[in-house]
A and B are shown apart, each in its own frame.
Chain A
């Protein structure tokens, strides 16, 4: 009897733990318009420590923090309303700035949409025209590429010089005219699905495969990019009311892993799509469970900081293999789109809070982590909204 009770207690703990892994995503509050045409605004409420917020903004825009670099655009959304925005001199609400790797999160969304449209199967091998069917790389599923556990030999974060970095080489070196061809030439060095390594090339190859699925037989590079851009606009950009500029290489491929230009307000709309579990104004945009897939760390043993196209909060510690934690408050539920030189779209479900920061933080300063500390300060200035009532339970991440 006693053992049965303990078993029941243990099982209930496990059930609670399993559901506790993901904080529910809050729905759009009643009476708050969706920002498809423009952001509804709201005043900072009693839940906000205004002195702390003001101090954080002054520190950033007046460059009072060593290693933060230059903050150019900040937009903060809570409860679906724009509650704070600030711009450095020369930058305006419609100034489009570079995403760098925040584009990876947009590519994750586009793959989800294509999956929903039955144009791709994310659990099937993704493949590439450069590989024959027997090539081990050709067997890797889409999902694994998005989680960056593909096992490819790709060097970026640990690169000692520009000339050694695959990120530089693919975009601005030997790969600059056909980025996917460069990426397809990289070998595997780990068994797929076992080891996490930050791999921009994996997302380039994902963008290439996605483009091939959407535009199977384009007569030219120009036709390829035009058809892909139209699909992106109809399937995502127009739906949530954003006007980004994705860039395309000479082969007609949108870069996928980087180089989408958008305003902070538009990045915030993209963040809201994820905050609302892929729903937008009554319409399902992303497949059910796709956001949970994005914000759940992959199963590799060497990493706990990356989901699928999005960075996630480590369950304890500061993250492995890199320090990645942004201390947004008592609950470790934040997930983020992150780009080179300090581009962030931070989503904090427990506070229904989105923080977008665009700017220029040089790589050396970025590595000190000052920007994560600053983002944490901003997030902690916000408490949850008093009437927030999350209604949706977390769903298993493996079943979108």
Chain B
């Protein structure tokens, strides 16, 4: 009887996890694309366009930017989201602009 209860509980947990993963897959993909997008475009804004960081922030919807942590580096920009679970780095190479590196 106890084994049957454990089995049902396990099935329920797996089902919930499955539903959560299914429901969250777009969120995950969007977070990944979003971090790469902001890393790349902020890198180009800073190093190609030569604009200051405050100006670069105006290129995005403030609500979309809120969950992201943007960290300018020397010739690069790193962006992370979801408490660091998702991150991206874009590198500036003089003469060739910026591009994602991970």
Contact = CB atoms under 8 A, between A and B. Distances in A.
Given A162-B30, A163-B30, A261 B48 contact: yes
Interface stretch (B14-22, B51-59, B70-78): B51-59
- Chain B binding surface SS class: mixed
Contacts of A171: 37, 40
A7 interface: no
A259 B97 contact: yes
B58 A261 contact: no
B69 to A, nearest CB: 17
Contact of A173 (B29, B51, B96): B29
A306 to B, nearest CB: 26
A245 B48 CA distance: 7
A95 interface: yes
A49 B26 CA distance: 50
A248 B29 contact: no
A261 B33 contact: no
A163 B58 contact: no
A59 interface: no
A250 B95 contact: no
Contacts of A163: 26, 29-30, 33
Contact of A169 (B33, B40, B44, B48): B33
Contacts of B96: 225, 229, 247-248
A163 B86 CA distance: 15
A98 interface: yes
A121 interface: no
A220 interface: no
Contact of A250 (B30, B41, B101): B101
A225 B96 CA distance: 8
A362 B64 CA distance: 12
B99 A96 contact: no
B49 A95 contact: yes
A95 B50 contact: yes
Interface string A43-87: 000000000000000000000000000100000000000000000
B68 interface: no
Contact of A261 (B26, B30, B61, B97): B97
A261 B96 CA distance: 11
A100 to B, nearest CB: 10
A249 interface: yes
A236 B96 CA distance: 17
B33 A173 contact: yes
14 contacts: A96-B48, A161-B26, A163-B33, A168-B33, A172-B34, A172-B40, A176-B40, A229-B95, A247-B99, A248-B96, A248-B97, A250-B100, A261-B49, A360-B58
Interface of A: 70, 90, 95-98, 161-163, 168-169, 171-173, 176-177, 225, 229, 245-250, 259, 261, 360, 362
Interface of B: 26, 29-30, 32-34, 36-37, 40-41, 44, 48-52, 55, 58-59, 61, 95-101
The 7 closest A-B pairs by CB, nearest first: A247-B97, A163-B29, A172-B36, A176-B100, A172-B37, A172-B33, A261-B48
Given A171-B37, A245-B48, A250-B101, 12 more contacts: A70-B58, A96-B49, A162-B29, A163-B29, A169-B33, A176-B36, A176-B40, A229-B96, A247-B44, A250-B99, A250-B100, A261-B44
